[in-house]
Amino acid sequence: MTALPDLKTARPWYSGIDSTVLQQNVKRLDTAYKNFFEGRGFPRFKNRSNFTSFTFVMGIKVKGNKIYLPKLGWMRFYNSRSIPDGFTIKACAVRKRQNGWYVSLRIENKSVPYTIAKSLKDVVKVIGCDLGITKLVHLSDGCQIENPKFSTSKKAKRTLKIRQKRINRKIKGSKNRQKAAKKVGRLHQKIGERRHAYQWKVANKIVSRNVDAIAIENLNISGMKHRCQVKIDEKTGRFLKNGQSRKKGLNRSISDAGWGELILKIEYLAAKQGKVTIKVNPKHSSTECRNCGHIDKSNRDGEKFICVECGYYQHADIGAAKTIRDRALKMVRGDSAKPGIF
């Protein structure tokens, strides 16, 4: 970061970029390399064509439907949400989407009190959440929330397939191919915006319940989407079927459900309302009998749960949500390891 002045001398066109933007990009590069050395992926090279976001830290001004960005000047924008009185602008993130540029302002008011979450000793009521694909969320109180399947529905897959074919039929590097690619990008953007809006409604519906804590599955989502292990015939050396073609559809459904983003939204709203979020180990939650404790894969048949040991019958996913709730209560009472509080 201290070498940025020398960089501007060597390459004069860098002087046309605000210094805080360059500093923030250096910080992002540092974060990328830290993640790499900690085993979380290799830094991806970005040129000016795929560099789609940058951040200003100082010198931002807003007047009505105009915003001032350093080195860029005043420009018009759609002010979708006015800044409340008493708040100061701390940073401004500019991001390029398929249908234009978006501006996101970070504001601060030190007079706003921080919401303090309840301690584990004060937790009395807990609701359990079991995430799924047929239904997006099953709650321990018997409520089931639908999964709209924004990108894996029959209509969405057909539309995406048609538009992707149009890209492949165009000449590489042509403007018509770029136009077709933009249409596919706008479709993905529309699907993502619909998913985010629906997830906020679902998260608000869960957090607004009269409870002290929310128990959520501690899922390894990236591990669930790993490819199946390769199977090779020892005699012939040929590859055998390993179920990857069937698992590909499951991986797409998991990505479409957006469990990770939904969990983040639940944690955010819960912290905002002073509630505790408890992450629970979901192992055997849907195959464990709540009556006798017997664990067996054959206990579950789709959405039905019938214990092969005692004959106990219930809805499999709602029973799993109740099991998650009970495990969270045990963690609160100190019967096992302390939960993560967010």
6 is catalytic: no
Among residues 18, 267, 288, 317, which one is catalytic?
317
Return the number of other C-beta atoms located less than 10 Å from residue 123's C-beta.
21
SS (H, E, C) the chain: CCCHHHHHHHCHHHHHCCHHHHHHHHHHHHHHHHHHHCCCCCCCCCCCCCCCEEEECCCCEEECCEEEECCCEEEECCCCCCCCCCCEEEEEEEEEECCEEEEEEEEECCCCCCCCCCCHHHCCCEEEEEECCCEEEEECCCCEEECCCCCCCHHHHHHHHHHHHHHHCCCCCCHHHHHHHHHHHHHHHHHHHHHHHHHHHHHHHHHCCCCCEEEEECCCHHHHCCCCCCEECCCCCCEECCCHHHHHHHHHHHHHHCHHHHHHHHHHHHHHCCCEEEEECCCCCCCECCCCCCECHHHEECCEEECCCCCCEEEHHHHHHHHHHHHHHHHHCCCCCCCCEC
The torsion angle over the Cα atoms of residues 183, 185, 187 and 191, rounded to 10 degrees, is -170
What letter represents residue 191's amino acid? I
The catalytically annotated residue of 130, 256, 267, 288 is 130
Instruction: Tell me, yes or no, if 267 is annotated catalytic.
Output: no
Pairing of strands 126-131, 213-217: parallel
Choose the catalytic residue: 18, 217, 256, 288.
217
- Taking the C-alpha atoms of residue 240 and residue 197, their distance in angstroms, rounded to an integer, is 42
317 is catalytic: yes
CB 317 within 8 A of CB 286: yes
**Do 117 and 274 touch, CB atoms closer than 8 A?**
yes
* Per-residue tokens: 61: 């001004």
Residues acting as catalytic residues = 130, 217, 317
